[in-house]
Amino acid sequence: MSGNPIVYWELASSNAEKSVEFFKKAFGWDFEYGKATTIYELPKEINQLHGGGIFTLKMAKLPFLTIYIEVDDVKKKAKEIEDLGGLIVIQPIEINPGIHICLFNEPSGVTFAMLQKRK
């Protein structure tokens, strides 16, 4: 294997159980609790990363890392996120023809993003 791929991500939450429940309800993710590590893990078949990028800040004031979650309908999912106690940071917007994103905070305040690709 070459290229040193990103193979893992972590969310350091102020309330792991609440965050796990949020992502389970929002995206259908089934975490497995590791007693030895005390970490709620996603099975590898769900945790598939497909690239990344680096850019210079323009709107944000502090550096950050964002995990993008692919969804079928970003507007519908944004409503679900709010209903589950998440906060929409950037409403769904089209960034390229047919490609939409939306940034949200999960209940402990960490920012994630959703990506809807062209159909």
Residue environment code for 53-72, b if the CB has 16+ CB neighbours within 10 A, otherwise e: eeeeeeeeeeeeeeeebebe
Tell which residue, 109, 65, 71, has the closest CA to residue 87: 109
pLDDT of residue 80: 96
Domain borders along the chain are 16-116
What 3-state class would DSSP assign to 96? strand
Question: Is 16-116 a CATH 3.30.70.330 domain?
Answer: no
> pLDDT tens-digit profile of 12-50?
888 889 999 999 999 999 888 888 888 898 877 776 666
Name the residue with tokens 């047919």.
Answer: 98
Condensed to tens digits (0 to 9), the pLDDT of residues 74-109 reads 999 999 999 999 999 999 999 889 889 999 999 999
Per the prediction, the chain carries an average pLDDT of: 85
**Longest Cα pair distance anywhere in the chain, in angstroms?**
46
Tell me 42's DSSP state.
Answer: P
Does residue 6 register a pLDDT over 70? no
